[in-house]
Structure 1
Amino acid sequence: MIKRLSILFLLPMFLLGQYRDIPDVVTKVATSAGGFLKLETSARAIGMGGSFVASGRGVSGIPYNPSSIAYIEKSEAYFSQVSYLAGITHGVLTYGTRIGPSNFAGLHLFYLDSGPMEVTTELFPDGTGEDFKVMSLAARATFARSLTDRLKVGGSINYVRDKIAETQMQTISYDIGSNFQTGIYGTVLGMSITNFGPEVQYTGEDLSVQVADTIDVDGSLQRITDKFPLPLTFRLGIENTVMGPDSPFLKNEKHTLLVSVDGVKPN
């Protein structure tokens, strides 16, 4: 009964929150920097529709919930590379290890490479003969601790860099998260706040445009150098194994059914 009441309580909050924010999402398109930080970075998380804040286990869950590395038994490594849209590739390289009875540490590297793209201008719409590319990087150093056999907490300090041709930004941001095994019919709760940090500003040679004093520069050129926030994201999730060898509901030695739901609130 407690489980059913919890789900009924969380589900309306999640649905109302999503629909309530639709006008803001539409009107705030392209008003944050570091959009690559919102890409899914774990094959298992992608298979679960991104519902990973309570279900993350090990180093692949670091971007969703840094406390997930507290599930490592000894040491763990993970690597992936994805051929994304339009020739874009991105990949992950991460490692984590136990450094004590209750302490864990890890490193997580995520990169994105657009590949070469042709430079076009108003005078040369078919291309100038030059190429440029977008290179993005997020490096995380993570520490987690098992406070009890049921409660795990963790945090990450992140170095974020984004370079578009000769324009770039770099900054430091932070993640925090927790994972709690409630002991109520196998229910697990997860919470995280990711990409918390200062606003960023792009700088570089490509922003230095020489114009005559008689030309009025419009707002579009000035806005490029405005400061923008990172994609701060709050996640709250719940997980339960409704069928499996250790399930309190349906015992099955051969098959497992895991139910996981996340509520996600972007900035």
Structure 2
Amino acid sequence: MTVETVAEPAPQASTAASGAVSVIPSAIPSAAASLATSDAGTSPEPPLPLRSRDMPRERLRTAGATALSDIELIAILLGSGLPGHDVFNVARSLLTRFGSLRALLDAQPEEFDGLRGIGPAKAALLQAITELARRALAEALDDKPLVDSPAAVEDYLRLLIGGRPHEVFVCLFLDARHRLIRSEEISRGSLTRMAVYPREIVRRALTLNAASLIVAHNHPSGAVQPSASDRRLTRVLRETLALVEVQLVDHLVIGARETFSFARHGWN
């Protein structure tokens, strides 16, 4: 993702392969400007033996959910197919259509339109499951110092924004003990462009009485190597937040399967 660093009020533009982010420097003086399912693509599974097709709920009770295939788990979730559409075939068609479990769970309501065996009720159920997973991961972050739970933070952010088809910038506002105060989406862009305003992030941090924060944005391409503009944005945020004694704990670049941490890489 490429940052466009613009001195107010007239923007200037620069581009790079990963996308574009417009950064409006702060007006503050002297500022230099795992419930998460892996997105390792789900390849079509072989047909289930008849006995397995008839007993997924029983096997779940006796052997546990990890013993079941993706198709069986989706079939249990859907409950039944529509007339003429076997639920296992419906589950298989969903995986084939979306290509991976992550893409299926990230699908928008309109993406289910016209799919055989998936009516509004089943589409709503799939979306509800995804939201429950996000909330469960968010609860796992409550009352814990997030600096001690980097894996949980990355799992949460991957499920939150890792599969989005457009760029999203989010902030996790933390208290003095690095516990989560609030998670907020600060900016949403297109596939290649997004505006981020450090001034607004500082203002929100002060409103929430945050002592520190973690910021993150996704790369829809899946590649997490930061661009020069990502590095410039990170530098601007650190310097701007430092002026009001708010620490930037980390800036994470989120892909479908990987995450880049500026803090772990020495802020380079």
TM-score higher than 0.5: no
The answer to which structure has the higher strand fraction is 1
**Structure with the higher fraction of residues in helix conformation:** 2
TM-score, length of structure 1 as denominator length: 0.26
TM-score w.r.t. the length of structure 2 is: 0.25
